[in-house]
Amino acid sequence: MSPGLRRAPFVVMAALACMPAAAQDVRPGPAGVVADSLQRAQLEKLRLEIATLQRAALEAAERSWPRRVEPYLPLLTMLVSVAGALAALTRFLNDRQVTRRRRLEEEFRADLQELVAFPSAESGGAAHVSFLLQDLRQLTTQLEQRVADVTTILVELAIRDLDFGNPRHVILETAAMERWTPYREFLARNPSEHQVILVNYVDAVRRIHAEHPAFFERLEYRAGMFVLSTFVEHATYRRFIALLDAVALHVPLLEAKPELRTYVRERFQQAIQNSAVTLAVFDRRQQ
């Protein structure tokens, strides 16, 4: 083997040994440097954009209504609870008011029915009628629209149903005059209805006079009291006094109606045939 061939492996090995070193010494050219810088810039830009989006998302979350409302949630919860309690209380009070009004209406109807039935009832007297009217007056402070109902019924009773020859009927009308002011005010404003009632009283006076004409025609009135010259049954005398007192209650209402006053006074005198009695009823305050 020639000396040149024997040295060939060493040359190859030396060449191979030098190759890695040559590879390590390779440097990118200008184009590679630019590409690398561009890539890093794009990555940085992307990172900044992501950070910007994250900050925007956080700011939007901070501005959202749940986040703004969150500090007030305890107060809102309390307000909702209070509102619920108030609603429940309102319903309770409304139900209670309805129940109370229903009870008042029932009491009102019961009293009014009892008042209407009084003339034909067999029990109860002046005190009972006074109690019914007083109770109705108290009830109508809560049921104001019912005042007119009571007044209308009393007027209808006095004009169409009551017979003043019956003491119970006189008791009812007298109590209405004394204890139900709207009834008296109605008669003061309505002379026609008032005249009907007074004529009914005059008719009752005429009938009681017919029972004992001598007694009533001889009756005297002195110093604010009647002087009896003859005897009459006590029940009859009580009926007579009740009639006089009832008519006397109406006389003040006639002051504003002089023509009606004159008419009723003349009719009364014709019925009783006693000027002293007529004077006592119509001119008592002038004596």
pLDDT for 62: 63
Q: Where are the alpha helices (DSSP H) in 140-232?
A: 147-156, 167-179, 181-189, 191-211, 213-217
CB 200 within 8 A of CB 162: yes
> Nearest-CA neighbor of 264 among 282, 252, 244?
282
pLDDT for 77: 79
Indicate the pLDDT class of residue 2, thresholds 50, 70 and 90.
Answer: very low
pLDDT in tens, 171-203: 999 999 999 999 999 999 999 999 999 999 999
Average pLDDT over residues 69-75: 68
53, two tokens: 């989006």
Beta bridge partners of 225: 222
Indicate the pLDDT class of residue 31, thresholds 50, 70 and 90.
Answer: low
Q: Is the pLDDT of residue 7 over 60?
A: no
Residue type at 107? E
CA 250/CA 270 separation, integer angstroms:
18
CA 18/CA 39 separation, integer angstroms:
33
Average pLDDT over residues 228-253: 92
> Most distant CA pair in the chain: distance in Å?
197
Average pLDDT over residues 37-50: 80
Residue 201 neighbours by CB under 8 Å, 6+ apart: 164, 243, 246, 247, 250
Indicate the pLDDT class of residue 30, thresholds 50, 70 and 90.
Answer: low
Average pLDDT over residues 241-245: 95
Q: Is the pLDDT of residue 276 over 80?
A: yes
pLDDT for 91: 76
Provide the residue count of the chain.
287
Task: Find tokens 């209808």 and name the residue.
Answer: 156
